[in-house]
């Protein structure tokens, strides 16, 4: 670049112009790049802020579920236990003398027998309910439970209408549980049907509680129970076992699952009106099922309970949770066996509701805590220590789980588990559940009772047969509802204060005293 004084002009050569242009474009590029980094930082900041808010919102959601459970559970009836005796005749019942309660058909699918099963079956003959029948269903004519059922039917022949039915082996239902129950459904006398698994124990007022829940609102078509555990010391008494103050370790592991994580998700879904029905104890209007084609219509699905509820929702009916849980009473499995069951249940949920199941990965305490701590440490680097925040998160989560356990636990009964034992099993569950969920993501095969099935999205499953077998490889089978378990608690020390029982319920005129004609119920 030169200056000509004679002509008073500035002379710029080509090379100088190119250098100037390059410098100008370089400055412009740097400005654009800087602006791009600014936008990326902004988007990243907003994304992390949203994730942090979601993590905090999950804690708030847990707290709201605790409040909902405190108000909702045991609002009609409660199983009051005494230190002297836990047998059915000592449990106070809801006053049903002034209630126009409809007749109920109880369908009990059976397989196998042990001392807990016999106790469960016997409890159904002591229900404080004016009109009901029990239809026991067996698929194997050589099942060892048959003599015990026949003895109970004979013992209570003058007080309870009950009979034993056998399923048709030629039925082509995919779901073996539906295949087992269908003959009983076709013989049902009443317009309300209760499906109750073999591992469920009932107090005398439990059925009344479910019916009151059904009739306390208009257009309620299905009532289900949140799964929980039968009191451990009561199990020891009814099974004539040696009394112990604390429950076994394997039982505590189940208590953590059913009393904490599962209880929060179950009651949270019920609070939001999301389908969360489990078929282990489920009361339904038969005429609604008849409009779908009866139980036979649902025999094509793996999780028939999910599709029961879905059908009621789709047809404008309400689905409600009873105020009493489903009291699971069975021989306590090992921790490994229970984790295998959790794997199957998560595989089922992944097939039925894949998006919600994937989000379930972040519903555990430790994963959620790590994400939560990272988000707020990034957003407020000079205010928050991520390690301290994580441990604070774990403490809050544990306290909320422990409070949730006390909401679902029978009122006034001390839990027969030490806090140290409970915390140890809680930490074990929280640290291993994520690995169980990841296992389910990478396998579609379900192992059930020595057999293997290939799970498909939508609820169906193909049975995988050995090459040595001659059976049809296209045969379809299904796994049914959750298996039952045992529980542990301490004797009641005082009477809980709960809502007074309902004393007036209106039943639609077309549903009062509805009885379907069928052949006499006799033992086959």
Contact 124, 97 (CB under 8 A): no
Q: Give the phi and the psi of residue 206 in degrees, each rounded to 5.
A: -70, -45
Burial class (CB in 10 A: 0-12, 13-18, 19+), 457: exposed
Nearest of 110, 115, 78, 103 to residue 93 by alpha carbon: 78
Structure-token pair, residue 316: 């404008």
Tokens of 132: 């009901």
Helix or strand or coil: residue 158?
Answer: coil
> What value, to the nearest 5°, has the Cα angle with vertex 75 and ends 506 and 215?
20
* Separation between Cα atoms, residue 502 and residue 289, nearest integer Å: 27
Distance between alpha carbon 66 and the CA centroid of its chain, in Å?
16
Q: In the numeric block, which tokens belong to residue 145? A: 């439970």
Q: In what order do the strands lie in the sheet with 200-201?
A: 200-201, 326-328, 227-229
Tell me how far apart the alpha carbons of residues 152 and 395 are, in angstroms, rounded to a whole number. 49
The SS3 call for residue 380 is coil
Annotation marks residue 305 as catalytic: yes
Distance CA 462, CA 471 (A): 13
Catalytic residue among 305, 385, 401, 466: 305
HEC letters along 202-234: CCCCHHHHHHHHHHCCCCEEEEECCEEEECHHH
Backbone angles phi, psi at 223, to 5 degrees: -125, 125
The token pair that represents 335 in the structure block: 């921790």
Contact 296, 197 (CB under 8 A): no
Q: Residues near 518 by Cβ (< 8 Å), separated by ≥ 6?
A: 186, 187, 188, 189
The angle that helices 115-123 and 146-155 make with each other, rounded to 10 degrees, is 30
Tokens of 245: 């103050």
The rounded distance, in Å, linking the Cα atoms of 194 and 210 is 9
What is the end-to-end Cα distance of the chain in Å, rounded?
A: 113
State the burial class of residue 271 (Cβ atoms within 10 Å of its Cβ: 0-12, 13-18, 19+).
middle
- Beta-strand pair 318-321/192-196: unpaired
How many Å is the Cα radius of gyration of the chain?
Answer: 30
Which DSSP state fits 169?
Answer: T
**476 bridge partner residues:** 462
Kindly list the catalytic residues. Answer: 305
């Amino acid at each position: 670049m030169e200056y000509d004084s004679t002509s008073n002009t500035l002379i710029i050569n080509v090379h100088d112009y190119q250098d100037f242009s390059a410098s100008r474009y370089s400055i412009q590029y740097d400005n654009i790049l800087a602006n791009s980094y600014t936008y990326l930082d902004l988007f990243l900041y907003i994304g992390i802020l949203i994730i942090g808010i979601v993590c905090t919102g999950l804690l708030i959601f847990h707290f709201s579920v605790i409040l909902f459970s405190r108000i909702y559970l045991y609002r009609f009836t409660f199983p009051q236990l005494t230190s002297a005796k836990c047998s059915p005749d000592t449990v106070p019942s809801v006053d049903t003398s002034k209630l126009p309660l409809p007749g109920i058909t109880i369908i009990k699918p059976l397989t196998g027998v042990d001392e807990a099963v016999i106790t469960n079956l016997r409890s159904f003959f002591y229900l404080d309910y004016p009109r009901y029948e029990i239809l026991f269903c067996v698929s194997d004519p050589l099942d060892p439970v048959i003599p015990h059922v026949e003895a109970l039917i004979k013992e209570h022949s003058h007080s309870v209408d009950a009979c034993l039915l056998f399923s048709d082996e030629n039925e082509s239902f995919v779901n073996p549980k539906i295949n087992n129950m269908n003959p009983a459904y076709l013989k049902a006398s009443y317009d309300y049907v209760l499906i109750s698994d073999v591992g469920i124990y009932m107090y005398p007022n439990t059925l009344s509680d479910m019916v009151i829940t059904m009739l306390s609102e208009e257009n309620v078509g299905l009532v289900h129970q949140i799964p929980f555990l039968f009191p451990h010391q009561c199990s020891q008494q009814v099974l004539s076992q040696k009394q112990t103050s604390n429950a076994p370790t394997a039982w505590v592991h189940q208590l953590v699952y059913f009393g904490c994580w599962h209880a929060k998700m179950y009651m949270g879904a019920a609070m939001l009106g999301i389908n969360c029905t489990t078929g282990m104890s489920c009361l339904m209007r038969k005429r609604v099922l008849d409009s779908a084609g009866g139980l036979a219509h649902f025999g094509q699905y793996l999780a028939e309970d999910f599709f029961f509820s879905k059908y009621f929702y789709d047809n404008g009916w309400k689905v409600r949770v009873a105020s009493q849980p489903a009291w699971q009473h069975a021989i306590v499995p090992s921790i490994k066996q229970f984790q295998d069951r959790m794997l199957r249940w998560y595989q089922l949920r992944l097939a039925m509701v894949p998006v919600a199941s994937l989000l379930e990965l972040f519903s555990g305490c430790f994963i959620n805590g790590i994400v939560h701590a990272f988000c707020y440490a990034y957003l407020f680097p000079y205010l928050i220590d991520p390690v301290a925040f994580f441990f604070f998160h774990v403490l809050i989560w544990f306290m909320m789980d422990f409070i949730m356990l006390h909401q679902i636990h029978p009122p006034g009964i001390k839990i027969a588990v030490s806090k140290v034992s409970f915390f140890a099993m809680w930490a074990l569950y929280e640290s291993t559940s994520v690995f169980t969920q990841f296992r389910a993501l990478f396998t579609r095969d379900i192992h059930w009772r020595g057999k293997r099935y290939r799970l498909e999205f939508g609820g169906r499953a193909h049975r995988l047969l050995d090459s040595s077998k001659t059976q049809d490889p296209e045969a379809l089978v299904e796994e049914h509802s959750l298996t039952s378990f045992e529980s542990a608690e301490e004797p009641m020390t005082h009477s809980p204060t709960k809502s007074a029982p309902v004393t007036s319920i209106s039943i639609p005129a077309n549903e009062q005293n509805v009885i379907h004609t069928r052949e006499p119920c006799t033992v086959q």
